[in-house]
Amino acid sequence: MRFKDKVALITGGNYGIGRGIALQMVREGANVAIVARNEQRGAQVVAEISESGGNGEFFKAELSSEETVIGMIDAVIEHFGRLDIVVNNAGCGSQNCGIEAADPPGPRWANFRGANLDSTYFVSAHSLPHLAKCEDSSIVNISSTATFHGNWGLYGVAKSGVEALTRSFAAEAAPLGIRVNCISPGWIGTGEDADSAAAGTEDGEWSLPPSLLNRMGTPEEIATTVAFLASKEASFITGQTIVVDGGLTIIDYPSIPTLDKVGHRLYSHSPKK
């Protein structure tokens, strides 16, 4: 119960990784504000939280709009009376794709920047005065290992901005006693297929393993890292990005077949040709 009586705001908490984070924070005693656009999914997670004996409320907001974010934070404060933890998890991504008339550069950049970077900036900036009133308050952002890889287009660019913003806000918020950190997830299984996707590559779904551990990660594995960073146990950590990717980014993938020679399970568990 590390977060008993605290209030945590989770953007994108109505689905996927964000839902996992919201449920983890509730398990550890937090009251949770879930912020996203889809009300039906929001209501489902709030019902799950209530059934587990927790306290959650859904706040509808398009997070790329500063005006909407200001109204949403006012509503959260009016409802819960305080704000201790902010998790900027909302986002959207896709790999590189060619410029088309239906998807021109300006709107495309506005889309990825808005959902990933503007949302993180607006929510963090307008939360600071409220976080500053609480002890041990902190912000946890969610970026992506797409920041390392050129094939993730503007998603990787926007998420790189999230990591830079983490350092920038950590410096700005330190005098207020607020820590700011970031998690960079690799492939995480979400939605209805999460269990099968997390089970690994034996079914041939992946042509190469999605991590060094031969499986996708789970929302819970991101959620427990969020909880650690938001807790007192991380009291001397700020401005950092922790990669949670099962070792994906430390592997030189073109060399994987050579691992077979030494019987490494990463290759031997890969789908048979």
Ligand X SMILES: NC(=O)c1ccc[n+]([C@@H]2O[C@H](COP(=O)([O-])OP(=O)(O)OC[C@H]3O[C@@H](n4cnc5c(N)ncnc54)[C@H](OP(=O)(O)O)[C@@H]3O)[C@@H](O)[C@H]2O)c1
Q: Which residues bind ligand X (CB under 6 A)?
A: 12, 14-18, 36-38, 41, 61-64, 89-93, 114-115, 119, 142, 144, 185, 187-188, 190
SS3 assignment, position 140: strand
| Rounded CA separation 62/68 (Å) | 7
Nearer to ligand X, 130 or 159 (CB): 159
Comparison of 36 and 178: residue with beta carbon closer to ligand X: 36
Smallest gap from Cβ 13 to ligand X, in A, equals 7
Q: Which residues contact 155 (CB under 8 A, 6 or more apart)?
A: 92, 93, 94, 95, 112, 116, 144, 146
Using the minimum distance from each CB to ligand X, give the nearer residue, 114 or 153: 114
Distance CA 191, CA 248 (A): 21
Catalytic annotation on 15?
no
Phi/psi at 220 (nearest 5 deg)? Answer: -65, -35
Residue-wise DSSP of 23-63: HHHHHTT-EEEEEES-HHHHHHHHHHHHHTT-EEEEEE--T
Catalytic one among 15, 121, 155, 267?
155
Active site residues: 155
